[in-house]
Amino acid sequence: MVGLTGGIGSGKSAAADAFGKLGARVIDTDAIAHDLTGVAGAAIPEIARQFGKAFVDASGAMDRRRMRDLVFSDAEEKQRLEALLHPMIRAESQRRIRAAQGPYVVLVVPLLVESPDYRERVGRVLVVDCPEELQVARVRQRSGLAEVQIRRIIASQIQREKRLAAADDVIDNSGPVSALQQQVRELHETYLKLAPA
């Protein structure tokens, strides 16, 4: 099992998609979190109870903007949300891992290096990396967040140097998508050789 991680805007999703197209079973903890906090998601009743109904929008999903503003301005509120969501995400990811078919599993965890539980589950750590200025530019383009918000999110994540120090493998995603895909193809061949028969 490969743990895929990287900072916001580094290209984790693009790398995961490329592995998926090559036949790896991809399990994305961010996607699980979105399911849990989406319309009628399993976490919604508890979010409403702990944070108030104002944090659930008219559709019945978590109000992401309001929650993001809260948790990135108050470390205690961030810990409270994580204490609610992380056990649910871990349980669902474990269920999906057990059901996985394919030569190997790519478990996408943004906070992999910071999370000993996930770190112990994977055989290899793969970091998707790019310079911080590129992270900021990509996140601004895709989400429209202000630069100051993006830098606050980056600052709340583990330092790039520490993430790279924990890596068994690194994808340099500072170039075009074709370069990322070539690196994924090479790593796929490596992982196929390492996978149990």
pLDDT on residue 156: 84
* pLDDT digit string, tens, across residues 3-13: 999 999 999 99
| Domain spans of the chain, in order of start | 1-24+102-197, 38-101
Question: Average pLDDT of the chain?
Answer: 94
CATH class for domain 1-24+102-197? alpha beta
**Mean pLDDT, residues 115-124:** 90
pLDDT > 70? residue 197 = no
Q: How far apart are CA 45 and CA 32, in angstroms?
A: 16
Q: Are 24 and 97 in contact (CB under 8 A)?
A: no
Q: Are 48 and 42 in contact (CB under 8 A)?
A: no
Residue 62 pairs in a beta bridge with 56
Name the residue among 50, 68, 97 with its Cα closest to residue 8: 68
